[in-house]
Amino acid sequence: MDTCDNNIVGAFELRMIDADIAHIRLAIEAVLHESNSALPMLYWRGRLEHLLRSRHLLHHQFSAVADLLTRIEKISEAERDDAPTAVGRASSSLARAIAR
C-alpha cells in the first residue's frame, strides 16, 4: 500500500515549478544589468525549454514560461539590431520547445 499522499507531492511539485520560474525571471533581469554575467541568456532559455518539455504546467505557469521565452528572444534580437522580428522568432522558439 502506498502511504504517500499524491496531493501533497503534486502541490510541492507545483510550488517548485513556480519557484523555478521566479528564479529564472530574476536571473534574466540580472543578466540584463550585468555585463559579465556568469550564465548567458542561452542557458536560461534552455532551462525554460526544459520546463516546457519535462513537466505538466498549469496555464499560468505555461504563460509565464512563454512570456519569458518571448522576452529572451526580444533581448537577443535587440542585441543583433533586428528587433522587429523578435516576436515571430519567439513564437517559433516556443513552438519548437513544445513540440519536443
User: Which parts of the chain fold into alpha helices (H)?
Assistant: 6-33, 41-54, 59-79, 86-99
Would you state the cell numbers that stand for residue 99, as one nine-digit string? 513540440
pLDDT score for 9: 59
In one-letter notation, the amino acid at residue 29 is E
Query: How far is the C-alpha of 63 from the C-alpha of 99, rounded, in Å?
Result: 16
Q: What is the pTM of this model?
A: 0.70
The overall average pLDDT reported for the chain is 80
Q: How far apart are CA 9 and CA 90, in angstroms?
A: 33
- Summarize the confidence of residues 64-69 as an average pLDDT: 96
- Confidence tier at 1 by pLDDT (50, 70, 90): very low
CA atoms of 60 and 67, how far apart (whole Å): 10
Express each pLDDT in 77-99 by its tens digit. Answer: 887 864 455 455 555 666 665 65
